[in-house]
Amino acid sequence: MTNYKKLLLISSIMIPVVIIMLLLSGSFFSRKSYDFLTVNIGGVYKDPHPDIMLILIDENSIVYGEKVFSLGRWPWNRSIYSEILNYIHLTERPKAVFFDILFSEASDSTALGTKDVMSDSVFQQSIYEAENVYHNIVFSYDDERKEINPLPADMKSKFSVNVQDPKKIRYKRVRMNDFTIPIPCLRVAQPCEHESSEELETVEAIARGMSVASFKPDPDGLHRQGHILFDYQNSFFPSVSLAAVQAYFSNEEGSPDVRVIAGQKLQVGDVDIPLDKSGNYLINYYKNRVIKNSYSMSALFESANKIQQGEDTNLKLHPDQFKDKIIIIGCSAVGCQDLKSTPVDARMPGPEIHATLISNILQGNHIKNTPVLLHYFLVLFFILIPVSVILFSRFQYVKIGLPVLLSLLIGGVSIALFHYFNFLLPFLSYIVIGFVSVGFSFGYQSIIEGKEKRKYSKILGNLVDPQIVKEALNDLESLRAGSEALITPFFSDIAGFTSISEKLLPVELGALLNEYLSEMTIILKEHQGTLDKYIGDAIVGIFGAPLPVENHPLKAAQASLAMMQKIVTLRAKWKQEQLYCPEVYDMHFRIGLNTGMAKVGFMGTKELASYTMMGDTVNLAARLESAAKDYGVSLLISDTTYQVIKSQMFTRLLDYVRVKGKETGVKIYELISAKGEEDKKIAQATAAYEEGFSQYLHRSWKAAMSALAESQNIRETEDKATQLLIERCRWYQKNPPEKDWNGVFVRTHK
């Protein structure tokens, strides 16, 4: 079975298997890659933003509150939150205070459940005086509710946020039809003994805002992302993180609006918040966690007690520490039921997740997901490379070592990208794909091929032109002996190919060269040329040998022009299909042609030889290809070639030069087109240039520069050859040449 058929068979079976596996488990491995990197490596920032503070009601706080303040069991009487707010605002003002506690019902004063209006009123007054309190709200979807539960008027008019360009939102909006919100008197200035009325829209708001604290876990139960902006009945409400960012950048004019940028990105002030296709933000958990500014509520209680007793030293939580902070008050005790499973902690308090998310946004500590095209490329890479190596390599250590090496490489790259750039590469997906490919390939070899020994054929060391092979079969000894023949050597080379090759992967570079060389070689053969060799991107051809070709200079010229037309077609195709890299879309090459006698035949050893050409004629053709760069032209021919084709080809006499390694000068011409196909403007510019060159040879520098300038003006584009000749005229004006000067310019480099 040929390698091609083998690869076709394996691909037809393997690719569907891998695609199915990706669909079933791709997101799983992506999540596990994220877990590994966040837990073990950590992103760019190792510590959270210093202006975020957590005050958590933990088990110690509940015990302390019951022992010192007789608060009883959780949940506490609302009046205690008034004391908490008063202490936070004792000396300095924070930017905002967020309650990650839902006050959806009036306070109970006794175990019998009677309403404690006084407690709510006291809390209401503290909220009013603080002017920076945000309450918690929850949106949900109730399967049993057929219609959307309408929001109270004050929620829409006073607590929704202004979103600029909401029509630009392209992510999938969360489906919701029900809500839980704080009691009316904690939202607006209404007596707590009254129930909600329809006139709440006209009542003054006392809370700074409402923020949504809901988190939805991933399918495996871990919390890795948070929804940022919630849409309920076309009214927008911020998450705790979004509201905190708005509050942090607020000023006397208020909080900055939320702008929708590019469909899946929000902007608050100068801060960007990138979202995924579901409107979620991928949380970048800190390796050092939120510890520095995280306090137990018991620390606040103890500090408040000391101040009430006249002691203001050795405070665990001094009021000055609250200045310009974003404060989140929430619960971390087990009984509060606000502990979440995350990759870094199986029991992380919900407020700490909010703090992490806020810190991410303020620091610009965003995780960058792998672009789709790069992901698909890596998927194909980890499918095809292991399969190809295992099926076609003869070395067992390569078959075994390559998958391990690729795994280590992609793992190391992923770690570096995440650590230094917050770039998330789902490396586990690629490693699993690679090893599945390896296992399948070994299984294929074992089951289909078994232990049958593979038969190898001796591969020719050199690709030989079929015409040469045909002649060698007819008279090999004659070709070995070599002969003198009148030929037209052909040399072509891609301009700036080194810079192009640096932009491409090896696979892409090989594909580009194969396509380019194939198309150009076809044209060479169609015009009865013989392929001598490829030298990287260069093509060396022979017109006139080993078989005589009638009028071979004209054939070489026609082939050269056809190649120039073909590269235009190829560039357009590559650009349309977005292949390779942008530099390829402007790729061009240079060709040098010369006609003369040269030695042709098989040269080398008895064991290994190749058909080629040698001599001054060949060297000059190579020099002309190189010299074309200096004159800014694509096709450069010698005078001997010109004399044969001048009646059929339109050319321009460029210069009279002596190339390195030659004693005599030679006229060189630019090959432009077939006669009758030249552009009129180019024809006029060519005539002016040749007039200028004639004046140059006669040492009429001013007349030469005048004609050359006219040529340049006609072209309306810069012509390197014209500029080169003008510079020489200026030089000779100041430094007249010797009396025996004949116009020959000596090239000192190849």
- Give pLDDT, residue 199: 64
- Give pLDDT, residue 611: 78
Q: Which one-letter amino acid corresponds to residue 274? A: P
Mean pLDDT of 163-179: 82
CB 689, CB 651: distance < 8 Å: no
Please tell me which residue, 132 or 66, carries the higher pLDDT value.
132
Q: Report the share of the chain in percent with pLDDT over 70.
A: 86
Residue where the block lists tokens 């929001």: 151
Please tell me which residue, 85 or 27, carries the higher pLDDT value.
85
Q: Is the model's pLDDT at 555 over the cut of 60?
A: yes
Buried b (16+ CB within 10 A) or exposed e, 169-191: bebeebebbebebbbbbbbbebe
DSSP label of 37: I
Closest CA to 226 of 241, 236, 209, 245: 241
CA 593/CA 305 separation, integer angstroms: 98
The angle at the Cα of 590, spanning 586 to 594, to the nearest 5 degrees, equals 165
**C-alpha torsion 383→386→391→395, nearest 10:** 180
Q: Is the model's pLDDT at 748 over the cut of 80?
A: no
Helix (H) or strand (E) holding 372: helix 372-392
- Give pLDDT, residue 43: 84
3-state helix/strand/coil string of 245-304: HHHHCCECCECCCEEEECCCEEEECCEEEECCCCCEEECCCCCCCCCCCEEEHHHHHHHH
- Give pLDDT, residue 197: 58
- Helices 297-308 and 59-68: crossing angle in degrees, nearest 10, is 30
Distances (CA, A) of 1 to 9, 263, 391, 443, 449: 10, 52, 12, 17, 10
Distances (CA, A) of 142 to 173, 226, 692: 16, 20, 88
* Domain chopping of the chain, boundaries: 11-29+370-449, 58-363, 466-645
Q: Is the model's pLDDT at 549 over the cut of 70?
A: yes
CA 713/CA 707 separation, integer angstroms: 10
User: What are the backbone angles phi and psi of residue 368, rounded to the nearest 5°?
Assistant: -100, 120
Q: Is the model's pLDDT at 466 over the cut of 90?
A: no
Mean pLDDT of 108-137: 78
CA 193/CA 154 separation, integer angstroms: 18
Lowest mean pLDDT among 556-565, 604-613, 690-699: 604-613
Q: Is the model's pLDDT at 749 over the cut of 70?
A: no
Could you tell me the pLDDT band of residue 552, with boundaries at 50, 70 and 90?
Answer: very high
- Give pLDDT, residue 210: 94
- Give pLDDT, residue 110: 41
- Give pLDDT, residue 744: 84
Closest CA to 97 of 149, 136, 124: 136
Could you tell me the pLDDT band of residue 18, with boundaries at 50, 70 and 90?
Answer: low
- Give pLDDT, residue 669: 95
The answer for 221, left when phi > 0, alpha when psi is -120 to 50, beta otherwise, is left
CA 409/CA 425 separation, integer angstroms: 12
Could you tell me the pLDDT band of residue 564, with boundaries at 50, 70 and 90?
Answer: very high
Please tell me which residue, 50 or 475, carries the higher pLDDT value.
50
- Give pLDDT, residue 672: 92
- Give pLDDT, residue 97: 96
CA 501/CA 497 separation, integer angstroms: 6
Cα 247 to its chain centre, rounded Å, is: 33
Kind of pairing, strands 280-282 and 294-296?
unpaired
- The first and second tokens of residue 499, run together, are 């810079």
Lowest mean pLDDT among 284-298, 330-344, 409-423, 460-474: 460-474
Could you tell me the pLDDT band of residue 4, with boundaries at 50, 70 and 90?
Answer: low
- The first and second tokens of residue 306, run together, are 């000391």
Task: Write the pLDDT tens digit of every residue in 279-317.
Answer: 899 999 987 665 578 899 999 998 998 898 888 788 999
- Give pLDDT, residue 456: 31
CB 410, CB 426: distance < 8 Å: no
Please tell me which residue, 542 or 448, carries the higher pLDDT value.
542
Q: Helix (H, G, I), strand (E, B), or coil: what is residue 548?
A: coil
- Give pLDDT, residue 10: 57
Output the furthest CA–CA distance in the chain (Å, rounded): 123
- The first and second tokens of residue 559, run together, are 């082939």
Task: Write the pLDDT tens digit of every residue in 506-520.
Answer: 888 988 999 999 999
Could you tell me the pLDDT band of residue 261, with boundaries at 50, 70 and 90?
Answer: confident
**C-alpha torsion 720→723→729→730, nearest 10:** -140
CB 667, CB 743: distance < 8 Å: no
Give 469's contacts (C-beta < 8 A, 6+ positions apart).
none
CA 122/CA 109 separation, integer angstroms: 13
Q: For the whole model, what pTM was predicted?
A: 0.57
Q: Is the model's pLDDT at 387 over the cut of 70?
A: yes
Mean pLDDT of 741-748: 76
CB 719, CB 684: distance < 8 Å: no
Mean pLDDT of 146-168: 86
- Give pLDDT, residue 458: 33
Cα 503 to its chain centre, rounded Å, is: 14
- Give pLDDT, residue 375: 84
Lowest mean pLDDT among 13-22, 28-37, 247-256, 567-576: 13-22
- Give pLDDT, residue 457: 32
Please tell me which residue, 479 or 614, carries the higher pLDDT value.
614
CA 136/CA 126 separation, integer angstroms: 17
- Give pLDDT, residue 482: 63
Could you tell me the pLDDT band of residue 413, with boundaries at 50, 70 and 90?
Answer: very high
Q: Report the share of the chain in percent with pLDDT over 90.
A: 38
- The first and second tokens of residue 293, run together, are 């500014």
Most confident option among 59-68, 162-171, 688-697: 688-697
Kind of pairing, strands 423-424 and 368-369?
parallel
- Give pLDDT, residue 328: 96
CATH class for the domain made up of 466-645: alpha beta
Q: Which residues pair with 534 in a beta bridge?
A: 539
User: What are the backbone angles phi and psi of residue 238, rounded to the nearest 5°?
Assistant: -85, 155
Q: Is the model's pLDDT at 436 over the cut of 90?
A: no
Task: Write the pLDDT tens digit of every residue in 615-657.
Answer: 889 999 999 998 898 899 999 999 999 999 999 999 999 988 8
- Give pLDDT, residue 520: 92
Mean pLDDT of 257-261: 88
Could you tell me the pLDDT band of residue 166, with boundaries at 50, 70 and 90?
Answer: confident
- Give pLDDT, residue 403: 81
Buried b (16+ CB within 10 A) or exposed e, 720-742: ebbebbbebbeeeeeeeeeeeee
- Give pLDDT, residue 66: 79
- The first and second tokens of residue 277, run together, are 């296709």
Could you tell me the pLDDT band of residue 26, with boundaries at 50, 70 and 90?
Answer: low
CA 625/CA 594 separation, integer angstroms: 10
CA 357/CA 282 separation, integer angstroms: 9
Q: How far apart are the first and last CA of the chain?
A: 49
Task: Write the pLDDT tens digit of every residue in 29-86.
Answer: 888 999 999 888 888 888 889 999 999 998 888 888 878 777 777 788 888 899 999 9
DSSP string over 205-216: B-SSEEEE----
Lowest mean pLDDT among 323-337, 388-402, 550-564, 645-659: 388-402
Cα 640 to its chain centre, rounded Å, is: 52
